[in-house]
Amino acid sequence: MNKLTIKLKQHTPIIHFQHHQAGATLRASEVKPRLDRFILERLGGDYKKGIEKADKNGWLIEKGKGALNYKMRIECCGEKSTYIPFSNLSEVKKDKNTRCDYNSNNPNESKYEKLSTAVIYDTVKLTIICFDEKLKIEIENLIQLFFLLNNFGTRNNKGFGSFVPYIKEKKGDKEIERLWTDDEIIKQLTNESSITGVFRVENNETFENKLRRITQDYGLMKRGKSFGGYEKSLLWNYLCNSKDINWEKRKIKETIKRENRKLFDSLKYDTKKSNENRIETCQDININFFYIRALLGLHQQIEFRKFGNEKLVVQIEDALLKNNDEKLKQKAIDRFPSPITFKITDHSIIVITKKISKELYQYKNKNGKVEKRKFDFSTKGINTFDLEIPSNFDVADFVSYTKKFGNNLKPKEQ
């Protein structure tokens, strides 16, 4: 039996569905499958070949399945703090002086029990019990990098659930533990072939303030700002100006305005001076509409505020779901992660960008021909329409364009 122990510092709360229970932290049921896939992809160059190689090595629990044969135990160390997302505070109290993403609360109060809640401990200890010496060495070689690249729990790509491992080093006759420095993390990340961009903002504020900044800046990048001062989406600006592409928001509003004027007039915005209800345009003749927000994470709906307390919900689904061919229907996607991950440490916000998989915007039909993936937009009162997602989007170049997180620290490939 081979035992491996990793100590992790938790930098930001992890959103946990069992937050009220003692020891609510990283879940082995989330960490192990992701670590297994990470190891297998490195082992074989891709996941499928990794499974084949691991099978030959006798490392799999079950032949042909991607589960490696080791056990994992995760324990919390130190004091526990619990935080409530600001989006849920309306059910408890509305404190306009503390508009931040996470606010401390008393976790023992029953009124918080059903709210989505995040938990943070000082440190977390991860123990792996392995039955093969070579597999243990493979895990030991990759597990540090795995935690540098990944966050955990809900909204993990927005900086929540950020853990950084301690390094064990020899100092004379003694073995010491220390955290990775930010410079070491940056160097490790820039050497990764799967990463297209690494950005860093030095920030010594509390994790709450770091999370607030990420939420605000990412919101401007993806959606823009409609209330409390109007600002256009930086993603829309980038694609509209560089590729003459317009976005789904304008297409939705133009369709509603044309087909249901009463519904259009019910939509809320900062001022009623405009007759066009904030229908933006970079060029009046631009009709190249695409579903661009999906480039930063695919979701199943877009919401628009209406006068009063109501919302207009526009449903979005892969058009393949309506296909009569069951095999094609199975190729439909309803979720796709953002290619941007925010890693928070004590002194920095680190932004990691990856290349977007072609699966987001294309698929192969039953004859093996590549076709553009389309998404249906629908809501009560208008006819359904579909849009494609633009291809060949350079995520790192876009982040550089926003000027929110400095320059790309990853050298360009020659």
* Residues 6 or more apart in contact with residue 3 via CB below 8 angstroms: 127, 128, 129, 130
- Sorting pLDDT into bands at 50, 70 and 90, what band is 119? confident
CA dist., res. 113 & res. 20, Å (int): 7
Quick one: pLDDT at residue 91? Answer: 42
378 pLDDT exceeds 60?
A: yes
> Mean pLDDT over residues 314-330, rounded?
95
Residue with tokens 């597990």: 143
What's this model's pTM, rounded to 2 decimal places? 0.87
- Sorting pLDDT into bands at 50, 70 and 90, what band is 282? low
Q: Give the chain's mean pLDDT.
A: 86
> Tell me: the pLDDT tens digits for 5-58?
999 999 999 986 555 555 568 899 999 999 999 999 999 999 999 999 999 999
Residue with tokens 């324990």: 75
CA dist., res. 380 & res. 62, Å (int): 48
162 pLDDT exceeds 80?
A: yes
Strand partners, 340: 353
274 pLDDT exceeds 60?
A: no
